[in-house]
Amino acid sequence: MSEAAQTLEGWYALHDFRTINWTAWKQADVSLRNSALDELHTLFKEWKDVEDAGTGSTAFYSIVGQKADFVFMHLRDTLEELNALEVAFNKTTFAQFTIPAHSYVSVVELSNYMAQPGTDPLQNPEIIARLKPILPKWNHICFYPMNKRREGNDNWYMLSMDERRAMMRSHGMIGRQYAGKVKQIITGSVGFDNWEWGVTLFAEDALQFKKLVYEMRFDEVSARFGDFGEFFVGNLLDGGKFAAMLQ
Ligand code: 76R
């Protein structure tokens, strides 16, 4: 058996994608719509307070295309808290005007391929910050799930630790060229959802997603071993932009 990579886990993640029932929303009277928005703003304020206290983080983006209209990406300490968040949203008046489009459950993950031997990662504040990241409020989000292939000669899980580490080093070197342009959050979802990882990327310039993902396709670990699910791409929202969108 090959040596398994060691992983560190941080906050649990829920990507909650919703579609708006525009017909019902447009038919609702103004007073109901206004109170629905007020209630939503109260919820957003609670999420902001959690983020300010450093006990979780939430990203809120519109989704371009027909896969969904918007996404909440929540990070919290426990699955119970994530569950409570989705239930709280589902109980709002506004949620009655939404239809679940997609969801993804995972946990922020760092693997030890690039770890410094002989050091305790949990004593390193940079590692802690990466395990419990405050999500950036950058213009764009890109989310997709992925697996590492297990087929014939292309079976990631049969490779030695050294072979995998060499490929992950090359992967990391490409990624680092996008430092400051793309922020990546890798969440592990083995045992939680249908794919092995969720990849969430943030950028001010959406073209950087295309450039990074394309460049990685030529790198061995993605070229030989990457299998990908559906891609979601979107634009930053806040309470004000959302209210304008719903006008
Ligand atoms: O520098 C480090 O310490 C981290 C190095 C690193 C690891 C271990 C790293 C860097 N990644 C790692 C792990 Mn990544 N990453 C992806 C995708 O579309 C594709 O082809 C793949 C999707 C992108 C775009 C991306 C970006 N990475 C992983 C893992 C877990 C693998 C495992 O454990 O087997 C996956 C699934 C994955 C996928 N990666 C980076 C990036 C970027 C931008 C970086 C540089 C980050 C930085 O240095 O800040």
- The 10s digit of each residue's pLDDT in 56-74 is 999 999 999 999 999 999 9
pTM of this structure: 0.96
List residues forming the annotated binding site for Fe-coproporphyrin III. 130, 144-148, 171, 184, 222
Position 7 pLDDT exceeds 90: yes
Catalytic residues, which ones? 144
Average pLDDT, the chain: 97
Please report how many Cα atoms fall inside a 13 Å half-sphere around the Cα of residue 170, on the Cβ side.
14
Among protein residues, the one whose CA lies closest to atom 29 of ligand 1: 186
Among protein residues, the one whose CA lies closest to atom 45 of ligand 1: 175
Looking at residue 176, what is its pLDDT?
Answer: 97
Looking at residue 119, what is its pLDDT?
Answer: 87
Residue range 9-36: mean pLDDT, rounded: 98
Looking at residue 117, what is its pLDDT?
Answer: 84
Measured between alpha carbons, how far is 147 from 132 in angstroms, rounded to an integer?
23
* Least confident span in 94-98, 110-114, 174-178: 110-114
Position 23 pLDDT exceeds 90: yes
Nearest Cα to 186, choosing from 174, 195, 199? 199
CA angle 11, 147, 201 (to 5 degrees): 50
Looking at residue 114, what is its pLDDT?
Answer: 87
Position 243 pLDDT exceeds 90: yes
Those residues whose C-beta lies under 8 Å from the C-beta of residue 123, and which sit 6 or more positions away, are none
Confidence of residue 116 (pLDDT cuts 50, 70, 90): confident
Site to substitute for ligand 1 among 149, 163, 186, 224, most atoms within 8 A of C-beta:
186
| CA 156 to centroid of ligand 1, rounded, Å | 15
Looking at residue 118, what is its pLDDT?
Answer: 87
* pLDDT-above-70 percentage for the chain: 100
Q: Give kind and range of the element (H or E) at residue 130.
A: helix 125-131
